[in-house]
Every structure is written in structure tokens, then in C-alpha cells.
Amino acid sequence: HAVCIFYLVLRALDTIEDDMTISLDVKVPMLHEFHSYLYQPDWKYMESKEKDRQVLEDFPTISMEFRNLSKVYQDVISDICHKMGVGMAEFLEKKVDSQREWDKYCHYVAGLVGIGLSRLFSASELEDPIVGQDTELANSMGLFLQKTNIIRDYLEDQLEGREFWPREVWSRYAKKLSDLAKPENIDMAVQCLNELITNALHHVPDVLTYLSRLKNQSVFNFCAIPQVMAIATLAACYNNKQVFRGVVKIRKGQAVTLMMDATNIQAVKAIMYQYVEEIYQKIPSTDPSSNKTQQIIASIRTMSLPGGPMASRHHYSPIYLSCAMLLAALSWQYLSTISKAAEEYVQAGEN
């Protein structure tokens, strides 16, 4: 219940941030105060134009369920909402310039999700206290997913008027971020893409360490499945011109296989190994980031080798795993933001 309410509360907060029809003088105070709305039984917002506006229109139902949770869960959710709202407001009024600011933005919108979930796992006693206490590893879990989404969603964000690629990186390859979508700039665009993917891969060692600490099978699946989806997505995007022309997605059958396989740490290590090898095979010798890409892949290989320091875990019954995977699918839905509108726009252009 705590995770489901956390999801709905964050979906409401995210809907406010995403709604480009709300003026900044209204939106910024709403983001700052959002955590307090959890304790206001009648608060709702009826003027959103976003597709997920129902969570704002029916917010009294969500906040009532929130207030029915144990105080230990309420405190975690309220605290994360407060920090996230303040961070979202900060980046409404400035663009992501440096790689450090890229990490900071991703922390606000996704790292805090990882930290909040980890605190909930520990508060429930399904996991050891260290899972909730080690905020650096939990933050990396969120950053890996968020950076993957930002990298993959270049074209969608351009169409929506949003920019999340860090200027420090893209300015070495183009005068404007939108220039990367121009056919004449495709070679430089792909080099920029590869540099950002290399940056994201640096979170994988933390991801593997975090997952190795989990003891509860349902929690493990919930956390592991989005991570293996992300590494598969990065492998599909690496050195791929299609990122600047349309939507790059992993195949549905591939996604199902990943969900079925990612049920223990050794399996996840094998999946990570498989996809970083796929990236390694595609590294162009002329790519400016090739050495850095090879170095981080070497580190991931070392951690992913069979018989490493991370303990294996037993498999559970298929019925039990199916229930856990339903939860994992909800997690992936929140952290994955593929836009159908962008895809239709691209297809219309092709036709």
C-alpha cells in the first residue's frame, strides 16, 4: 500500500511539473507546497490539461489513503515530496548546464524516488536498515533509469519544447541542442549520444551492489526489472542514429524475457554483462569517448563475472513471481515515459 500511494502521489507531483499550461507564478508555489496538500483533505487541482490529470482531480482520494498509512510511511513520502517539489521548481527556472547539474536534476526527479523506496523497504522490515540508509546507492538506482529515459527521449523532448541533455556535453557537438536532429549533423549527434550513454553506465556498479543487498524476492524483482530494461535500452540506443529520427524501443518479446529472467542477482549480472558486451562490440574506434566507454565496461565486466562476490539467491514459484512482476511493471511504468504522440508524429513525417 505504501509503495502504491507513493507512486500516485509522485504521479500527481510529476503531472504538475509536466503541465506546460500552468504559469510559473502558479506552478512554483504549488511545487513548493505540494507535500502539505497531503494533509489537506479537500485539496485538488481541476485545471490541468495533462493526460494524467485524474490524479490531481481525485487527489482527495489519494491523500485520504496516504493519511491512513502508518506514520513511518507518511514521514518518508512527505519528506521525499517536499525535496522533490523544491528541486523541480529550481529547474523550471534554469536549464541543465553542467554534468553536475544533470546529476542534480536527475537526483530530484528520480534519485529521490530510489531513496524514498529504499526507506520504505527498510521501514517495512522487508529489507535490512542499510538499504534505506545508503542513500548514495539508492540515488544511483534512480539516476541510471532517469538518464536512460532522458537519452532515449531526445526527440520527444525536443517536440515538447523540453531540454534535459547537459549543455556542457552537447555544446561540444552543436551550437544548439536542436541542431543534433539535423541530418547534416548526425555524426556529431551520435558522438554526443555515446558520451552521455558512457556517463550513464557509470551507475551500473552501484546498481549491482544495491541489488546484491536485497533479500525479499518481491522487492528484488521490483527493483531489478527496471534496471535490466534500462541497460537493454542503452544498448539499443548506443551509436544509433535512430535516436535523432524517432523512438528507439526494445522489442516486447525482449522485455518479457528480461522480466522473466531478472529474478536473482546472478541472472541480473549475466544480463548486464550481455548488454555491455553488445555496446562494446559497437564502439567506433574514432569515437571521442571510446576509451572512457571501454574503461567503464571493463569495470562492469569484472563485477558481472560468474562466481563473483555477490551471493546467488533461490528461485521462487511462478505464481509468486507473477505477483511480484505486476508490481515491477508499475515501477517501470512510472520511470519510463515513452510518448505515443511523439511516435505518431514521427510516423506521420515518414508517411
Question: pLDDT confidence of 350, banded at 50, 70, 90?
Answer: very low
Cβ neighbour number for residue 18 with a 10 Å cutoff: 16
Question: pLDDT confidence of 146, banded at 50, 70, 90?
Answer: very high
- Distance of alpha carbon 107 from alpha carbon 101, whole angstroms: 9
Straight-line distance from the first to the last Cα atom of the chain, in angstroms, rounded to the nearest whole number: 46
| Residue among 83, 100, 82, 97 nearest 36 (CA) | 82
At residue 340, the pLDDT reads 43
Percent of the chain whose predicted confidence (pLDDT) is above 90: 83
Whether the per-residue pLDDT at 323 is higher than 80: the answer is no
At residue 292, the pLDDT reads 98
Select which of 100, 162, 172, 251 is catalytic.
162
Whether the per-residue pLDDT at 50 is higher than 80: the answer is yes
Percent of the chain whose predicted confidence (pLDDT) is above 70: 87
Select which of 37, 210, 222, 238 is catalytic.
222
At residue 177, the pLDDT reads 97
Whether the per-residue pLDDT at 190 is higher than 60: the answer is yes
At residue 313, the pLDDT reads 37
Per residue, the 3-state secondary structure of the chain, as one string, reads: CHHHHHHHHHHHHHHHHHCCCCCHHHHHHHHHHHHHHCCCCCCCCCCCCCCCCHHHHCHHHHHHHHHHCCHHHHHHHHHHHHHHHHHHHHHHCCCCCCHHHHHHHHHHHHHHHHHHHHHHHHHCCCCCHHHHHCHHHHHHHHHHHHHHHHHHCHHHHHHHCCCCCCHHHHCCCCCCHHHHHCHHHHHHHHHHHHHHHHHHHCCHHHHHHHHHHCCCHHHHHHHHHHHHHHHHHHHHHCCCHHHHCCCCCCCHHHHHHHHHHCCCHHHHHHHHHHHHHHHHHCCCCCCCCHHHHHHHHHHHHHHHCCCCCCCCCCCCCHHHHHHHHHHHHHHHHHHCCCCHHHHHHHHHHHC
Select which of 152, 210, 238, 275 is catalytic.
152
The residues, ordered by sequence, that sit 6+ positions from 197 with a Cβ below 8 Å of its Cβ are 151, 234, 237, 238, 279, 293
| Residue among 62, 78, 76 nearest 122 (CA) | 76
Whether the per-residue pLDDT at 326 is higher than 70: the answer is no
- Average pLDDT of the chain is 90
Q: ∠173-179-181 over CA atoms, to 5°?
A: 105
Determine the average pLDDT of the residues in 163-174. Answer: 97
Q: Tell me which residue has cell 482527495.
A: 60
Whether the per-residue pLDDT at 192 is higher than 80: the answer is yes
- Tell me the residue type at 10: L
At residue 327, the pLDDT reads 53
Whether the per-residue pLDDT at 325 is higher than 90: the answer is no
* pTM for this predicted structure: 0.86
Determine the average pLDDT of the residues in 321-333. Answer: 51
Would you call 105 a catalytic residue per the annotation? Answer: yes
Determine the average pLDDT of the residues in 195-217. Answer: 98
153-305: which CATH number, 1.10.600.10, 3.20.190.10, 2.70.50.60, 3.40.50.460?
Answer: 1.10.600.10
Angle formed by the axes of helices 217-237 and 135-152, nearest 10°? 40
Whether the per-residue pLDDT at 219 is higher than 50: the answer is yes
Select which of 7, 34, 105, 210 is catalytic.
105
Whether the per-residue pLDDT at 334 is higher than 90: the answer is no
Determine the average pLDDT of the residues in 74-91. Answer: 97
More confident residue, 264 or 319: 264
- Distance of alpha carbon 91 from alpha carbon 86, whole angstroms: 9
At residue 346, the pLDDT reads 39
More confident residue, 174 or 315: 174
Would you call 152 a catalytic residue per the annotation? Answer: yes
At residue 130, the pLDDT reads 98
Determine the average pLDDT of the residues in 107-112. Answer: 97
At residue 309, the pLDDT reads 44
Domain boundaries, the chain: 1-94, 153-305
At residue 160, the pLDDT reads 84
